[in-house]
Chain A
Amino acid sequence: MSTAQAVKIGIAEMEVVIAPNVIRTCGLGSCVGVVIYDAGKAVAGMAHVMLPHSSMARGGVINAAKYADTAVEALVQLVIAAGGRKGMLKAKLAGGAQMFSFSTAGGDMMRIGARNVEEVKRQLERFHIPVVAEDVGGHSGRTIEFNPQTGVLSIRTAAQEIKEI
């Protein structure tokens, strides 16, 4: 009997799972959901990233999961600690939408989704982790679930479309 669990992470959080468990996060807008996994070991980590860079933080302790630059690094460590092998890691990502398209409001925050995606990719490159699939940009929110057993990232939007990458 399988006792698989769906581990849920919230905004600015991250977690790692081993099959048969799956991991999901809901309501990604400009945020990016990044998954780093080792298919052979069926282990996967996911972070729900809000902002591109920890240099945007103003004082205080930095929550690594919140920023693309710190989240990717921390996630790599988490996945390796859970049995993932350096050199075997791959990534999938989704999110980075621009939710309010016809607004002039928000200033430089309007492009935050695209900037999040760019920085996540830059960081993955730094760790030599290939992005094997992505569903980013656009104007819709996304809920994503990753299954480390199959390596499939399932993406659902408010319009109930389901996409598997």
Chain B
Amino acid sequence: MDDIRNLTGMHIDILREIGNIGAGNAATALSTLLNKKIEMAVPRVQIATFAEMMESIGGPEQVVACVYLRIEGEAPGNMFFVLPPEQAERFVRRMIGDDSFSFQGEAHELGCSALQELGNILAGSYLSALADFTQLNLHPSVPALAIDMIGAVLSFGLLELSRVGDYAILIDTAIYDERRPDESINGHFFLLPDPESFSTIFRALGVDGL
């Protein structure tokens, strides 16, 4: 991919569809896991400078719980499942059946692995939908977890793209639970394909690359 600014409307539509299919599958998995209905927003494909992208997702200083995994295979890239720390805490309480759990507490390690496992399940279902759709061989690495500033965690996913240019292409899909505002879920899947993966994906879907 020489210049992402050569992406046409059709390319953007395809990337949006990828977010749709992947995150749709992951939202279904999450619905099953929590036994509640999870809604999904229309995916957003952003092409922006790194700084602009950080601002558009709430500013680089915002603290989030983040599960990161590397996508390996024919179209490598980075994937992040990001949510506010207090919601991550709630997920963990539910998963381990301990209402007193806090990331500051003693059960920290158990909570972290529960959250990592959640990320694993969601990312796995996101990726398997994507692999089915594109017929590409894609598999996730072991997930890693961080609770920290979003700029600090997400910039790791920008490194490969940054070698090619000063723009990020971010496929952002939000999930939420609008029926329970008191217990709302407000997570994001961020997909950041490596630069050369774009043409692989487009080719796999029978569209001219860049």
Contact = CB atoms under 8 A, between A and B. Distances in A.
Given A10-B55, A26-B151, 11 more contacts: A11-B151, A26-B54, A27-B54, A58-B163, A58-B195, A60-B2, A60-B3, A63-B166, A141-B149, A142-B152, A143-B61
A133 interface: no
B61 A26 contact: yes
Contact of A140 (B148, B164, B166): B148
B42 to A, nearest CB: 27
A66 B51 contact: no
Interface in A1-52: 9-13, 26-31, 50-51
20 contacts: A10-B49, A10-B60, A12-B51, A26-B60, A26-B149, A27-B54, A27-B151, A27-B155, A28-B152, A29-B153, A31-B155, A50-B158, A50-B162, A51-B163, A58-B164, A102-B144, A104-B142, A106-B156, A143-B149, A158-B152
Contacts of B143: 103
A100 interface: yes
A132 interface: no
Contacts of A162: none
Contact of B164 (A11, A60, A99, A158): A60
Contact of B60 (A11, A50, A105, A112): A11
A57 interface: yes
A56 interface: yes
Given A11-B51, A59-B164, A112 B159 contact: yes
Contacts of A63: 166
A150 interface: no
Contacts of A158: 63, 147-149, 152
Nearest to A31: B155
Contacts of A143: 61, 149
Interface in B154-210: 155-156, 158-160, 162-166, 195
Contacts of B146: 99-100, 139
A-B CB proximity, top 5 nearest:
A27-B151, A10-B51, A141-B152, A27-B60, A29-B152
Interface in B43-95: 49-52, 54-55, 59-61, 63, 68-70
A58 B195 CA distance: 10
Q: How large is the interface on A (under 10, 10 to 19, 20 to 34, 35 or more residues)?
A: 35 or more
B150 interface: yes
Contacts of A99: 146, 148, 152-153, 156
Contacts of B163: 51, 56-58
Interface string A114-146: 000000000000000000000000011111000
A140 B152 CA distance: 8
Nearest to B147: A158
Contacts of A12: 49-51, 162, 166
Interface string A88-104: 00000000010111111
A126 to B, nearest CB: 23
Nearest to A97: B152
B135 interface: no
Contact of A29 (B142, B147, B148): B148
B137 interface: no
A106 B151 contact: no
B61 A27 contact: yes
A109 interface: yes
